[in-house]
Structure 1
Amino acid sequence: MIFKHETSRIFYEDENGRVLAEITFPSEMEAVANITHTYVDDSLRGQGIAGKMMEMAIEQIKSEGKTPKFTCSYAVKWAEQNYK
């Protein structure tokens, strides 16, 4: 599975261009990126894809010198268990 990376967004599309997984993290302030949305299509659920996207998003956010903020309900739960 190859994820595409854009500014403030990581996503996966099927061969027809349909988005099957996505995470968005727009900048709120100069040094903060807010993880506002995660989505995984039903056909991919249960494979740990949302968690992988969280890890990639945090890596991208930190590489930009920013701090992640978590407001998406999945992101909040994931951060409580995995982010230190």
Structure 2
Amino acid sequence: MTTETSRSSARGSAHEFTHEPDASRYAMRIGGQLVGVLDYTINAGAISFLRSFTNPPFRGHGYAGELVAFAVDDVETTTDYRIVPMCWYVGDWFEAHPERAALLTR
């Protein structure tokens, strides 16, 4: 899986997305500050997204959605895993992106 990538947002700030397999999480940073994380576990050919968390100063800016999109893209392009959305936010994200539903398993 991807270990690190950077993207610029429409707001012009560089967002750093990382996959941290030793911690079983994806993370997002802006200017070195941890914005949020998406924790997961892997079992029987599936990756379960357990919990998303956005640090309070960064809430309400759509960063959690960007982090979920990065993680979903990474899983799709680098693994054969199916996704189990254990976290309510990830479930809502997939409802808003039905074109990605083929990646889901229950």
Shared fold (TM-score greater than 0.5)? yes
Gap runs ≥5 in structure 2: 1-14, 102-106
Q: Which amino acid aligns with 1:9?
A: R
Say if 2:42 is the partner of 1:27. yes
1:11 aligns with 2:27: yes
Question: Is the 1:25–1:57 contact (alpha carbons within 8 Å) kept by the matching residues of 2?
Answer: no
Which whole-Å CA distance do the structure 2 matches of 1:12 and 1:54 have between them? 10
What's 1:79 paired with? 94
- The 8 Å contact of residues 35 and 71 in structure 1, kept in 2 or not, is answered as yes
Superposed displacement of residue 14, structure 1: 6.7
Give the superposition deviation at 1:32.
0.4
User: 2: CA distance between counterparts of 1:12 and 1:61?
Assistant: 16
Q: TM-score under structure 1 normalisation?
A: 0.80
- Larger Rg, first or second structure (1 or 2): 2
TM-score normalized with structure 2 length: 0.66
Q: CA deviation at 1:77?
A: 1.3
Per-residue deviation, 1:4? 2.2
- Look up the match of 1:41: 55
Matches of 1:51 and 1:64, distance apart in 2: 21
- Structure having the larger proportion of residues in strand: 2
Aligned length: 82
In structure 1, runs of 5+ residues without a counterpart are none
SS in structure 1 opposite 2:68? helix
